[in-house]
Amino acid sequence: MDELIGTLGNIETAEIPKILWSEEKPLKRTGEGPSLFPPHPSELYTTPSGLTTIIDENYRLAQNQTDTSATSKIEDMLQGLSITGIRVPAPSAVRRYMRRHDDMLDLVSEVCQMTRGCFPPSTELSLEVYHDPEIEDEYLTLYVRQEEYETDVLRKIKVILSGYSDFLKGKSGWFLVTTDFQPSK
Amino acid sequence: MGKKYAKSPIVEAVCEIRFTPDSKLDFTVPGLLYEKLKGEFPLKEKGSLVIGGDRTLTELAVFLTKDKNTSIRVGSKLPMLSIIRQKPYPSWNEYKPNIEKAYDFLMSIEDVEVKGINRIGLLYVNFIEIPGKEVNLAEYFNYGVVLGEKLPKGLKTFLVGCEFPFFEGRDVCKVKIASAVADKQDHFGVRLDIDYYLAQPLAVPPEGVLEWLEDAHQKVEELFEGCIKDKARELFGETK
């Protein structure tokens, strides 16, 4: 988040939401530096109503759970995306991808929630698995789509990318936030 | 013996055994365990795990069958063993031998010194897709949201979780039912997680783990059957 704050430029701080869980439940890699998105006291929560309750409940239930279930965590993530209005047009493809790359779950979840908070509710966010037709490759993509594109869409995306790109290092898969300049579907 | 379903809703079964922190599973143990298991679990990967409340990240060795449907995870920093079966779930009688094998092999390694069992968990994740965008969940489940007459009947999302104690609180079963993103168009997705675990550390000795699992599985089966109604059983295609 420090890098993110450092690259804010002209973006109002309030545009970048605090990542849910960041204060109480940071992703902690013991002895390996800072959390993914450590708390920033100046930021405001910009979460849709209801989400906090659901996630808090999930968190409470997670205090003593069988942790090695990737499926459980994938479903938690998909439920969180659904509640925040992030589309997943082909959920089976996302499930399949996340099962193969379960080390990316927290990162994808947190970046999706952060991106949601960076754009107005009318902006469509769609999580899809991108298949590269030229090489046998696929990766997760969060598409940002608007009816009428704001002039600073790319700048906001760049800020988001710079906030998490370092955390992709060492992960088994890849995740991109981008736009294809298509209208919302 | 539980009921059998042609289209089992189980998408994942997890058996996770966490040893006390003073147990000795040093960094050579995963390699020694692999040597014993590689006939059936020839693939290996490096895995990681974010642990519960404080979300600490730890590394695990992962051994998989050729079809990758069954995996064994073993941790040395966090001494633990986990046996995971992805769908299609065969049956307890086919899943349990994998647990026994992994556990017995691990315990037979000379360098392994298990001081005690902190937690055992047996988790089943069920994924159910009900035709229709709006469904009356009460027709399918005996467990979930109770909606009074004055409340709207259509639900977009929901989450209900309860913890049931067993054996005077030695064990607890967490049953969670929640909406899920459906794979199929015009279907309503429901997820039913049944996580039965040893809630009192050290209450089961290392030699009692497999017996505990048998009891746990029986309780999980009873709870699952207690949660569903015949209309759900029809979806799963009950076989006699």
Q: What is the pLDDT of residues B183-198, one digit of tens each?
A: 998 999 999 999 999 9
How far apart, in whole angstroms, are the C-alpha atoms of residue B147 and residue B175? 19
Q: In degrees rounded to 5, what are phi and psi of residue A123? A: -75, 130
Q: Quote the pLDDT of residue A91.
A: 95
Question: Residue A183, SS3?
Answer: coil
Q: Give the strand pairing for A175-178 and A137-145.
A: parallel
- Taking residues B54-78, what's their average pLDDT? 87
Which residue in the set A29, A58, A71 is minimally distant from B11, CB to CB?
A71
Q: What is the ipTM of this complex?
A: 0.77
Distances (CA, A) of A24 to A38, A104, B55: 10, 20, 10
How far apart, in whole angstroms, are the C-alpha atoms of residue B182 and residue B156? 12
| A27 torsion bin: left (phi>0), alpha (psi -120 to 50), beta (else) | beta
- Judge: A71–B51 Cβ closer than 8 Å, yes or no: no
B136-170 pLDDT per residue, tens: 899 999 999 888 889 887 788 889 999 999 999 99
Element (H, E) at A178: strand A175-178
- Judge: B159–A30 Cβ closer than 8 Å, yes or no: no
CB A108 within 8 A of CB A97: no
Q: Quote the pLDDT of residue B76.
A: 85
Residue B178 has pLDDT above 90, yes or no: yes
All residues of chain B having their beta carbon less than 8 Å from the beta carbon of residue A57 are: 159, 161
- Nearest C-alpha of chain B: how many angstroms from A57? 9
How far apart, in whole angstroms, are the C-alpha atoms of residue B188 and residue B154? 11
Burial class (CB in 10 A: 0-12, 13-18, 19+), A104: buried
Q: Quote the pLDDT of residue B52.
A: 58
- Nearest C-alpha of chain A: how many angstroms from B97? 19
Inter-axis angle of helices B92-108 and B209-227, to 10 degrees?
A: 150
A22-46 pLDDT per residue, tens: 333 334 333 333 334 433 333 333 3
Q: Quote the pLDDT of residue B95.
A: 96
- Residues of B with a Cβ under 8 Å from any A Cβ are 11-12, 14, 16, 47-58, 60, 73, 80, 82, 84, 86, 119, 121-123, 125, 127, 157, 159, 161, 172, 174, 176, 178-183, 191, 193, 195, 197, 199
- Judge: B125–A75 Cβ closer than 8 Å, yes or no: yes
- Judge: A72–B193 Cβ closer than 8 Å, yes or no: yes
Structure-block tokens of residue B4: 């059998």
CB A157 within 8 A of CB A118: no
State the average pLDDT for chain B. Answer: 92
> Rounded to 5 degrees, what angle do the CA atoms B52, B56, B59 make?
110
Of the residues B12, B67, B118, the best mutation for testing chain A's interface (the one with the most A CB atoms within 10 Å of its CB) is B12
- Judge: B57–A66 Cβ closer than 8 Å, yes or no: no
Residue B111 has pLDDT above 90, yes or no: no
- Judge: A68–B195 Cβ closer than 8 Å, yes or no: no
State yes or no: cis peptide before B88, omega within 30 of 0: yes
- Judge: A65–B84 Cβ closer than 8 Å, yes or no: no
Q: Quote the pLDDT of residue A44.
A: 30
**Cα nearest neighbour of A105 on chain B:** B50
The more confident residue out of B99 and B152 is B99
Tell me which residues of chain A have a pLDDT lower than 70: 1-64
The more confident residue out of B56 and A93 is A93
pTM comes to 0.80
- Nearest C-alpha of chain A: how many angstroms from B225? 20
Radius of gyration of chain A (CA): 16
